[in-house]
Amino acid sequence: MNTLIAIIFKHEEDGAEKTLQKLRELESEYLIDMEDAVIAHRRKDGKIKLTQSVNLASAGALHGAFWGMLIGFLFTGPLGWLVVGGVGAGFGALAGYSTDYGINDDFMKDLSKELEPCCSALFILVRQMTEDKVIDELKGVGGTIIKTSLPKDVEEKIQTALQENKKTAA
């Protein structure tokens, strides 16, 4: 089952980016498996900007091109696969661009209402993680958990780790 963790960084504009980078490093070490990660910022005009970590248009184009080429090769022969593959890539890119993958955008925008222009928020959807090692690596990144589907004791451990650096720096 997937786990949602939403963290707001009230005094750091790039706090979400730094934390996501650290989580990507942990993902390469197989300590965490993220299905989706999104960074939220409030623009100067007041609107919330969501930055997806997965480029849905390119993922859709790859998927569409693969199926288009396969179907084109099977039904139209060696030359038809190029044409049908290109059309499949176009439709795949369009489908990927219009698909809401992972965490619901409206849900993230609703939780991000308290963001100020100087702040950022990070939303991650975790398939699985090695809790103790990930918590150790998150020590001192800052931020406050605003929503999670974790058990209360794990949520408290993560929150304590996030704030640890602020206590020692103050």
Q: Which domains does the chain have, with CATH numbers?
A: 3-54+104-169 (3.40.1520), 56-98 (no CATH)
Mean pLDDT of 67-77: 57
Q: Say if residues 10 and 114 touch (Cβ distance below 8 Å).
A: no
Among 39, 53, 17, 36, CA closest to 141? 17
9-13, 22-26, 75-79, 166-170: which is most confident = 22-26
CA distance 89 to 61: 4
* Buried-exposed string 30-64: b where 16+ CB fall within 10 A, e elsewhere: ebbebebbbbbbbeeeeebeeebbeebbebbbebb
Spatial contact of 134 and 7, defined as CB atoms under 8 Å apart: no
pLDDT tens profile 129-139: 999 999 999 99
Evaluate if residue 156 carries a pLDDT over 70. Answer: yes
pLDDT over threshold 60, residue 14: yes
Token pair 């499949």 is at which residue?
88
Q: Indicate the pTM of the whole model.
A: 0.71
Highest-confidence segment of 26-30, 35-39, 106-110 = 26-30
Confidence of residue 42 (pLDDT cuts 50, 70, 90): confident
